[in-house]
Structure 1
């Protein structure tokens, strides 16, 4: 990701940031592992329906689970591992990857959220070398209708990112 960001030079152009394939893959993989919303909107079956071998009768309430879908081993081998490359190797359908919901009920803020995520990540990583302050695994926690990192994610600035030259080893106090 740092190599891709370094290819932009010192002046970050917003249009160039939005077109970076590995940055997009990192954002997609992050939203796959930690979707902001765990459940999609409820659906009521109106006519007989079969989903993955299950027969659903009219009147059945269906609540799609985004979190569980994103952790299906048949769709995402080694689903607990952070592997952005999976989004470079394959296009997932709207029923396999749905961090913003799907169909005509997809989140209206999707484009802005992705734009903001990419710009913030590119800006911070192109300037600073960061590390986790704590090595404990991040566990998702329910916060009302949304999911977020339980207890937050504490980061430490290690130094300034030197473009195309690696990172200084000194830490800021």
Structure 2
């Protein structure tokens, strides 16, 4: 699907260029543009939507996306560790209002991502869609090609490749690929506008490698080895944000003794990622936004696990890292950023919840940086 390749980088940059052209048109008229959180949601959402179903969110479809995103955010604010530890039937019959908020959001996302898959599958059956198994254009094509291959095997084919499974895969990847990265970018800009010295250091570093005769160029993923300060800033943003505070749940098979505590077999447990990221024994002054901590001690990067670790780590880690680097870096290359009005103040790190959704009322002002 192009993740980790030049194709994925092209998709990210094509979407960023499209969004920036809209910003530039407004700047050309008024000298500046106000950028709300929707900008980050739409940019990241379009990348994952293009990857999954081959379509970006334009003027005709962005309202649909923002409506679904609002439902998902409302669901996330309601959903917590309690919901993870009780049976679905209990929520459905004892706490129906909690169940309905989460269920409605899930069904709307399934409907959105599943619509294109169902339509394409029908065209494939009718013979009106040309499916290229060698060069699929998105995940739907990949899955449909696999479905066709398995069906041709008859009884030996894997029964798990069906339309219901495809819609669930699209649902899970759409959620995983959208919310956390967009939130990290938004929180990152909240921190950057209040730390202008960090912005200046990043811009100086980026200009040094992109502003070369005869003209300037965009930042690329190949520039990573030459941008230590930007890399450190992204690491600090991820440490500070820790959107998903808990890793996947696990159940131990046998009695465990841990630091004097006896944990019986069959206990459900998880790692508190957010708590690790504010551990004072690892990160000195954890409430301070300090990218240079990762330059002073490069071993700290080994303690930073925003995507989890091991076999159950985030499947979209490579995509998310690419988006954070390209979007953040190229926006700082193109624009002077400032706060627009008062910024949210409740940005403290709360390490002991299942997820953290920041106050999204913050807005930014972008002005063009003149390049040679």
2:258 is the alignment partner of 1:57:
no
1:62-81 matches, cutoff 5 A: 62-81=269-288
Corresponding residue for residue 167 of structure 1: none
Question: For the structure 1 residues 112 and 124, does the alpha-carbon distance in structure 2 shift closer, same or farther, using more than 3 Å as the test?
Answer: same
Stretches of structure 1 lacking an aligned partner (at least 5 in a row):
165-173
1:65-104 matches, cutoff 5 A: 65-88=272-295, 89-92=297-300, 96-104=303-311
Question: For the structure 1 residues 46 and 15, does the alpha-carbon distance in structure 2 shift closer, same or farther, using more than 3 Å as the test?
Answer: same
Q: What do you get for the CA RMSD once the two structures are aligned?
A: 2.5
Corresponding residue for residue 208 of structure 2: 7
1:94-125 C-alpha deviation (Å, 9 max, x unpaired) = 5x321011111111111111111111111110
1:49-73 C-alpha deviation (Å, 9 max, x unpaired) = 3445544332222121111111111
1:83-162 matches, cutoff 5 A: 83-88=290-295, 89-92=297-300, 96-133=303-340, 134-137=342-345, 139=347, 146-157=355-366, 159-162=367-370
Q: Does the 8 Å CA contact 2:252/2:266 hold for their aligned counterparts?
A: yes
1:64-86 C-alpha deviation (Å, 9 max, x unpaired) = 11111111111111101111112
Q: Distance in 1 between matches of 2:344 and 2:361?
A: 11
Q: Distance in 2 between matches of 1:92 and 1:54?
A: 28
Question: For the structure 1 residues 38 and 124, does the alpha-carbon distance in structure 2 shift closer, same or farther, using more than 3 Å as the test?
Answer: same
2:243 is the alignment partner of 1:42:
no
| Count of residue pairs the alignment pairs up | 159
Q: Distance in 1 between matches of 2:260 and 2:298?
A: 25
Question: For the structure 1 residues 104 and 92, does the alpha-carbon distance in structure 2 shift closer, same or farther, using more than 3 Å as the test?
Answer: farther
Bigger Rg, structure 1 or 2: 2
Corresponding residue for residue 239 of structure 2: 32
